[in-house]
């Protein structure tokens, strides 16, 4: 079968079921694609041998008419998920050589569903970043380039930058990501693909290297909304090993994609029209609202009054949790150790050399906001504002079924462009962070191109554990937008 | 609130991250920028607001008191940078 | 509270009062750890009872053990304390080699158990109420071993994550003796409840003692914390040394530094703990991996209904029903097994006699032999059998002591020993009169003296008759008959 790489996840699934191709054939095509796409630096570790062995096993099942929902489909795994016997780095020097003796629940769920592992994808160090530039393994390149001669290498967004670039550039048919403040949705938007962060508690966090425990959620990055529905279904589920995992059955997400949004109420939050928002983003947002209206939905103006405070709230809570979560990287039980004359020196040397600048910044901020005398002013205050942000959403959902916003305030920017100013970088997450703080599901769907020919996404937010509505609205948006632009780099060609 | 170099040095030590003088200077600037940014929260009236305990709102699940794990020292020690006689080894601590 | 005179310590500048508050760490009796499924048994191979959670592997998450929660609630009820139906687990952040996560999961602002009170038993049958400030659940750390290598410390995580209850008292104790009584009473309650085995040698129970001194009536002084006391005797020594040290410093014009100290049992002194010198900033915050712990009033009530009779209630019952002195009752109820032993012995017998025989003879002999009640050669039935022989006048109390010694030695029962050795008491009037006659005949001079008014000699005659009978004559009958005969 020709052009295997252009198949979507559901398309490939159907082709495998119909025996139009084999998992081995598909997997080999992607192993070739990984090779061809090396310049993107999307993978930290490639596991072609493992992929071939898994594909072979899948083919045997498929031949017998057996297999799970993801049987034989070759995917990439963000290198924040622990994978048994396979180097797991979180893109940090401090996890040098770490090969977990265990498999994360989400990746295990995917293998149980028959998926094939291509390798481990690059990310911002410990998922702290919005551009994939903080990786110890170097930046990831966005497969897209600006139109009009500027050949600058662009960031894929972050922190799931390797995942987004690999899926957009066809180095993987789909990939896992994690989203703490926008790390699935923002790179999906910047790379012209689909990314969904489910409700907090929908996917197990067990075996996922923790950044900020009250915010981290796994989700898929895919080429289509139905791909996202398929893969999320395989990743999700109650896990007794994660106390924050929701004890709820996983719905048939694909079945939710009815394309019918007639009578649904879609909220447009006025506070998301932030100062200095580029006109083309605003225009895209209005275009998206018009599409949904044309499909029969009712567009409702709503207010989420504390939106402005989401980002500062996030930049207290996430670093605070991170400062504690990252204390375990101390050179004693795994990863890097830099010797010292005393235990404390060993700790200080190891952590100084093992962590990059952005991680250090966040650890120090987090340590400070929790320290004696500052806890109430920072951390406690932030948790109170967080409660208000959650209340904003609860109030809004009294009158609407879903909320439509832009995903990111800009298209992909050049590598190095925003590096000097941490706040400027943090502002990338201005539209994604509020839902993260409230634990709500959100999807980014590519809807149009910027003036420079770069993809732009819109975000659909939903009620807690109502990913079905999020996917349904996202699907309608996808259908209406008919986004079919392709990036400059595409493994296997256009 | 504004951080000075000594405070940043103290925090860095609390977090067990060795920092030299030049790094400290850079960190002071960055951290103050971030703190200045989060300072806006003081505008929000949070009187009578309970801090968020969890986004899910449900209580803590309990597990049965059964031994289901452990008994695999080799897996526990497999990634250790230094080990001896079944222990992790670290620079000597004087108590 | 006014200072009790007897507790005051005399210094060069007058009397001082010692103020003591205790933080007791009690290992919760459970099969598996507080947040992982690894075993809790003592003394296994290093790192063999460690899960990936306990070793803080990346991405590992805690899930709480329901039995540990239940045990904490039961303990709270046993301490007459308020049970908080909503509590929160926090992270206490600090770096140490045996703390793999870089934080300890504990409870800071909202513990599972609030204020309570226990009554401690003091010498002379006195008692005193000691306030409990709180009880919270937390994880134990691993163990650092410093003496196996000249350059390295070794880390064993077997204890890492084992459930502890930290029980914090009010600063209500005023002497080493009261602190010892408090620990004993606490241990007794925990053992009755079955929530902690109270084994201090194995470290399942250890105490941090906050010591300060003040002039009676003054504000509280600056305190020092003596860490990790795992013996009541050493704790008392440490308190006495530390109080004396503080008094000397203050009397010499110095001030006390608030610090953590260790007790050196060999030298009998406390010293500053260098590794803890550095000021800590634990940065407590709610553990985002865990949700608030919530349970219903019904759950608490159900646990309350299932509590066993606790030492205080038992003691009150022993006093009321058996007429025991508070002192004896306190001794008998300290351990549940002792109380049960006693109740079996006392069943259908004179309860005071039973108490005396247990406390004086049985405990005395066990102590001398270095044995516990559980491996006593004299069981409930044997001791009861001996008491029966006394009650029905088969043997006298004096002979009974010999029988007891023989019982303790050989494990035989009392009737067998009495038969074998022919120790049955002589209660036959004729036989006793014969003995008396023979003594009077051989002591005619003394009889004359007695009859001329030297009645102090009566004791001498009793002694002679008993001697003649090899102690077997019934002493009451000897008295009675002798009086008659001497009177002529």
pLDDT in tens, A53-98: 999 999 999 999 999 999 999 999 999 999 999 999 999 999 999 9
Average pLDDT over residues C331-349: 95
Residues written for chain B: 95
Arithmetic mean of pLDDT, A293-301: 98
Nearest to A401 by CA among A314, A474, A485, A305: A474
- Identify the pLDDT of residue C398: 86
Can you give the C-alpha Rg of chain B in angstroms? 22
Asked if residue C5 has pLDDT above 80, the reply is no
Helices (H), C422-474: 429-442, 444-451, 458-468
Q: What percent of chain C has pLDDT over 70?
A: 98
C286 closest CA partner among B48, A313, A379: A379
Q: How far is B26 from chain C (nearest CA, A)?
A: 24
CA dihedral C413, C415, C417, C420 (to 10 degrees): -140
What rounded mean pLDDT belongs to chain A? Answer: 97
Of A198, A142, A177, nearest in space to A455 by CA? A142
Domains assigned to chain C: 21-211+278-303 (no CATH), 310-415 (no CATH), 429-486 (1.10.10.410)
A interface test, pick of B6, B18, B25 with most A CB neighbours within 10 Å: B18
Structure tokens at A341: 């004359």
- The per-residue pLDDT for range C270-316, each reduced to its tens digit, is 999 865 545 689 999 999 999 999 999 999 999 999 999 999 999 99
Q: Choose, out of C94, C146, C283, C286, the residue to mutate when testing the contact with A (most A CBs < 10 Å).
A: C283
- H or E segment to which residue A107 belongs: helix A105-112
- Kindly determine whether residue B85 and residue C151, on different chains, have CB atoms separated by under 8 Å: no
| Percent of the residues in chain A that have a pLDDT greater than 70, as a whole number | 100
Interface of C with A in 92-121 (CB under 8 A): 93, 95-97, 100-103
pLDDT class for A287, splitting at 50, 70, 90?
Answer: very high
Q: pLDDT tens for residues A14-44?
A: 999 999 999 999 999 999 999 999 999 999 9
Question: Measuring CA to CA, which residue among C180, C230, C234 is closest to residue C207?
Answer: C230
Task: Provide mean pLDDT across the span C344-355.
Answer: 96
pLDDT for res C80: 97
Strands A442-449 and A194-197: antiparallel
- What was the pLDDT predicted at C349? 96
Structural contact between residues A132 and A123, judged by C-beta atoms closer than 8 angstroms: yes
The subunits that touch chain A, with at least 3 C-beta pairs less than 8 Å apart, are: B, C
Average pLDDT over residues C341-356: 96
- pLDDT of A118-131, one tens digit each? 999 999 999 999 99
Question: Considering A23, A159, A226, A410, which one is annotated as catalytic?
Answer: A159
φ/ψ of A102, rounded to 5, equals: -155, 165
ipTM beyond 0.90? yes
Q: Note the pLDDT of residue C470.
A: 85
Reply yes or no on whether A183 is catalytic: yes
CA-CA-CA-CA torsion sign (A323, A325, A326, A329): positive
What's the confidence (pLDDT) of residue C134? 98
C residues 286..325 contacting A (CB < 8 A): 288-291
User: Is there a contact between A165 and A158 (Cβ–Cβ < 8 Å)?
Assistant: no
Cα–Cα distance for residue pair A403/A392, rounded to 1 Å: 12
Q: Is A189 a catalytic residue?
A: no
SS3 for A443?
strand
C30 vs C67: CA distance, rounded Å: 7
Of A95, A209, A324, the CB nearest to C103: A324
- Please give the average per-residue pLDDT across C146-155, as a whole number: 94
Residues C9-29 have a mean pLDDT of 95
Please name the residue ranges forming H helices in A218-267: 225-235
pLDDT digit string (tens) for C189-238?
A: 999 999 999 999 888 999 999 999 999 999 999 999 999 999 999 999 99
Please give the C-alpha separations between residue A288 and each of A222, A448, A472, C214, in angstroms, as whole numbers: 20, 9, 14, 75
Q: Which two tokens stand for residue A468?
A: 């079905």
Active site residue A159: yes
Average pLDDT, chain C: 93
- Strand ranges inside C140-291, DSSP E: 143-145, 152-156, 163-169, 205-214, 224-229, 260-264, 269-272, 285-286
pLDDT at A275: 85
Query: Across residues C351-380, what is the average pLDDT?
Result: 95
Question: What is the distance between the alpha carbons of residues C342 and C353, in angstroms, rounded to a whole number?
Answer: 11
Nearest chain B residue to C47, by CA: B73
Under DSSP, the state recorded for C361 is: I
B91 to A346: CB separation less than 8 angstroms, yes or no: yes
In DSSP notation, A110-169 reads: HHHTT-EEEEEE--SGGG--SSS-S-TT-PPPPS---SSS----B---SSSHHHHHHHHT
A75 close to A175: Cβ distance less than 8 angstroms: yes
- Choice among A27-31, A316-320, C368-372 with the minimum mean pLDDT: C368-372
- List all residues 6 or more positions away from C234 whose beta carbon is below 8 Å from its beta carbon: C263, C265
**What pLDDT, on the 0 to 100 scale, is given for residue C276?**
52
Partner A contacted by C8 (CB < 8 A): no
pLDDT band at C2 (very low <50, low <70, confident <90, very high): low
Between A40-44, A173-177, C437-441, the lowest mean confidence (pLDDT) is in: C437-441
Helix runs in C226-279, H state only: 232-251
Q: Rounded to a whole number, what is the distance in angstroms from the first to the last CA of chain B?
A: 37
Bridge partner list, C473: C426
Cα separation of C288 and A242, whole Å? 11
Cβ atoms A409, A189 nearer than 8 A: no
Nearest CA in chain A to B35: A365
Nearest to B37 among A247, A312, A335 (CB): A312
Rounded CA-CA distance B61/A53 in Å is 38
Residue C1 has what pLDDT?
47
Identify the CATH class of A1-494: alpha beta
Q: How far does the CA of residue C96 sit from the closest CA of chain A (Å)? A: 8
- Quick check: B95 and C157 CB within 8 A? no
Dist. CA A251–CA A255, nearest whole Å: 8
- What is the per-residue pLDDT for C274? 61
What is the Cα A140 distance to its own chain's centre? 15
Cβ pair B37:A360 closer than 8 A? no
Q: How confident is the model at residue A423 (pLDDT cuts 50, 70, 90)?
A: confident
Cβ atoms of residues C52 and B76 within 8 Å: yes
CA distance C389 to C387: 5
pLDDT at C23: 98
Span B68-94, mean pLDDT? 95
Chains that touch C (3 or more CB pairs under 8 A): A, B
Could you tell me the residue ranges of all domains in chain A? 1-494
| The pLDDT of residue C107 is above 90 | yes
Asked whether the predicted pLDDT for residue C362 surpasses 90, the reply is yes
Q: What are phi and psi of C322, to 5 degrees?
A: -110, -5
Sign of CA dihedral C276, C278, C279, C283: negative
**C85 touches C293 (CB < 8 A):** no
Least confident piece of the model among B81-90, C48-57, C240-249, C463-472: C463-472
Amino acid C455: pLDDT? 86
Which pLDDT does position A119 carry in this prediction?
98
Residues A30, A10: Cα–Cα separation, whole Å: 16
Confidence of residue A188 (pLDDT cuts 50, 70, 90): very high
Does the pLDDT of residue A384 top 70, yes or no? yes
B63 CB neighbours in chain C (<8 A) are 37, 63-66
Q: Quick one: average pLDDT of C100-126? A: 95
A381 contacts on C by Cβ (under 8 Å): none
CB C173 within 8 A of CB C21: yes
Six-digit token pair at A112? 């149980």
Interhelix angle A467-481/A279-294, nearest 10 degrees: 100
Q: Does C56 touch chain A (CB under 8 A)?
A: yes
What CA–CA distance (Å, rounded) separates C182 from C176? 10
């Amino acid at each position: 079968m020709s052009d295997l790489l252009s198949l979507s996840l559901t398309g490939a699934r159907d082709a495998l079921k119909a025996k139009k191709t084999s998992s081995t054939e598909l997997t080999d095509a992607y192993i070739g694609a990984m090779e061809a796409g090396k310049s993107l630096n999307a993978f930290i570790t490639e596991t072609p041998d493992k992929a071939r062995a898994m594909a072979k096993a899948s083919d045997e099942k498929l031949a017998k008419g057996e297999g799970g929902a993801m049987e034989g489909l070759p995917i990439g795994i963000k290198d924040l998920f622990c994978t048994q016997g396979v180097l797991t780095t979180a893109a940090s020097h401090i996890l040098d050589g770490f090969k977990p003796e265990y498999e994360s629940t989400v990746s295990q769920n995917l293998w149980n569903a028959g998926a094939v592992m291509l390798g481990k994808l690059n990310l911002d160090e410990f998922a702290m970043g919005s551009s994939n530039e903080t990786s110890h393994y170097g930046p990831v390149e966005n497969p897209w380039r600006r139109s009009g001669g500027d050949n600058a290498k662009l960031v894929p967004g972050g922190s799931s930058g390797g995942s987004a670039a690999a899926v957009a550039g066809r180095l993987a048919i789909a990939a896992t990501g994690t989203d703490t403040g926008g790390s699935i949705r923002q790179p999906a938007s910047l790379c012209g693909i689909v990314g969904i962060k489910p409700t907090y508690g929908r996917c197990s966090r067990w075996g996922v290297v923790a950044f900020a425990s009250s915010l981290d959620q796994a989700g898929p990055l895919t080429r289509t909304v139905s791909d996202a529905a398929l893969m999320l279904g395989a990743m999700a589920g109650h896990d007794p090993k994660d106390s924050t995992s929701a004890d709820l059955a996983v719905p048939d997400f694909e079945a939710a994609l009815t394309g019918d949004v007639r009578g649904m109420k879609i909220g447009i939050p006025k506070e998301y029209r932030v100062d200095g928002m580029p006109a083309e983003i605003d225009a895209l947002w209005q275009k998206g609202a018009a599409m949904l209206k044309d499909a029969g939905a009712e567009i409702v103006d709503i207010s989420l009054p504390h939106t402005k405070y989401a980002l500062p709230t996030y930049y207290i809570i996430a670093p605070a949790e991170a400062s504690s979560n990252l204390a375990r990287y101390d050179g004693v039980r795994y990863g890097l150790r830099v010797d010292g004359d005393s235990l404390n020196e060993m700790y200080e040397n190891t952590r100084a050399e093992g962590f990059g600048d952005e991680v250090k910044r966040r650890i120090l901020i987090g340590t400070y906001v929790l320290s004696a005398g500052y806890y109430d002013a920072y951390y406690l205050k932030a948790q109170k504002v967080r409660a208000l942000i959650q209340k904003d959403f609860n109030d809004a959902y009294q009158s609407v079924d879903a909320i439509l916003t832009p995903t990111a305030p800009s298209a992909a920017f050049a590598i190095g462009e925003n590096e000097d100013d941490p706040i400027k970088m943090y502002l990338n997450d201005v539209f994604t962070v509020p839902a993260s703080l409230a634990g709500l599901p959100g999807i980014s769907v590519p809807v149009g191109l910027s003036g420079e020919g770069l993809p732009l996404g819109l975000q659909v937010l939903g009620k807690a554990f109502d990913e079905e509505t999020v996917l349904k609205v996202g699907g309608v948006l996808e259908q209406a937008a008919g986004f079919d632009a392709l990036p400059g780099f595409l493994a296997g060609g256009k | 609130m504004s951080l000075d170099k000594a405070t940043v040095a103290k925090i860095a030590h609390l977090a067990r991250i060795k920092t030299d003088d030049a790094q400290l200077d850079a960190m002071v600037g960055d951290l103050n920028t971030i703190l200045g940014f989060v300072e806006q929260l003081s505008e929000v009236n949070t009187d009578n607001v309970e801090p968020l305990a969890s986004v899910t709102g449900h209580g803590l699940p309990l597990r049965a008191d059964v031994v289901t794990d452990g008994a695999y020292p080799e897996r526990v020690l497999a990634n250790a940078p230094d080990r001896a006689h079944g222990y992790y080894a670290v620079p000597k601590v004087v108590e | 509270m006014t200072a009790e005179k007897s507790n005051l310590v005399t210094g060069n500048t007058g009397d001082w009062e010692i103020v003591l508050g205790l933080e007791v760490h009690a290992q919760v009796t459970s099969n598996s750890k507080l947040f992982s499924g690894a075993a809790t048994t003592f003394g296994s191979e290093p790192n063999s009872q460690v899960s990936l959670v306990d070793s803080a592997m990346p991405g590992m998450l805690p899930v709480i053990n329901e039995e540990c929660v239940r045990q904490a609630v039961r303990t709270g009820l046993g301490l007459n304390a308020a049970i908080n139906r909503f509590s929160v687990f926090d992270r206490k952040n600090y770096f140490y080699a045996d703390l793999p996560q870089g934080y300890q999961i504990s409870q800071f602002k909202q513990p599972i158990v609030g204020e309570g009170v226990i009554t401690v038993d003091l010498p002379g049958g006195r008692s005193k109420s000691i306030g409990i400030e709180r009880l919270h659940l937390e994880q134990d750390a691993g163990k650092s071993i410093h003496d196996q290598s000249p350059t390295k410390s070794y880390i064993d995580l077997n204890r890492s994550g084992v459930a502890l209850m930290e029980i914090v008292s009010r600063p209500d104790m005023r002497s080493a003796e009261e602190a010892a009584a408090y620990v004993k009473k606490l241990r007794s309650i925990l053992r009755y409840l079955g929530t902690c085995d109270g084994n201090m040698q194995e470290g399942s129970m250890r105490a941090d003692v906050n010591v300060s001194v003040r002039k009676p009536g003054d504000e509280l002084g600056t305190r020092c914390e003596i860490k990790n006391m795992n013996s009541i005797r050493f704790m008392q020594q440490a308190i006495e040394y530390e109080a004396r040290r503080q008094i000397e410093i203050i009397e010499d014009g110095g001030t006390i530094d608030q610090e953590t100290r260790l007790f050196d049992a060999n030298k009998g002194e406390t010293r500053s703990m260098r590794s803890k010198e550095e000021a800590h900033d634990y940065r407590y915050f709610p553990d985002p991996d865990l949700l608030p712990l919530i349970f219903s009033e019904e759950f608490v009530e159900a646990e309350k209904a299932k509590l066993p009779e606790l030492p205080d209630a038992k003691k009150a019952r022993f006093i009321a029903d058996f007429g025991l002195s508070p002192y004896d009752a306190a001794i008998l109820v300290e351990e549940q097994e002792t109380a049960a032993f006693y109740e079996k012995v006392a069943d259908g017998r004179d309860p005071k006699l039973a108490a005396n025989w247990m406390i004086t003879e049985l405990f005395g002999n066990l102590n001398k032999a270095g044995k516990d009640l559980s491996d006593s050669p004299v069981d409930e039935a044997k001791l009861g059998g001996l008491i029966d022989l006394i009650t029905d006048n088969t043997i006298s109390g004096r002979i009974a002591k010999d029988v007891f010694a023989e019982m303790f030695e050989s494990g035989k029962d009392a009737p067998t020993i009495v038969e074998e050795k022919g120790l049955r008491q002589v209660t036959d009037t004729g036989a006793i009169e014969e003995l008396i006659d023979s003594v009077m005949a051989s002591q005619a001079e003394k009889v004359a003296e007695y009859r001329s008014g030297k009645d102090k000699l009566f004791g001498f005659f009793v002694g002679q008759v008993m001697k003649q009978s090899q102690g077997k004559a019934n002493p009451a009958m000897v008295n009675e008959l002798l009086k008659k005969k001497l009177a002529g």
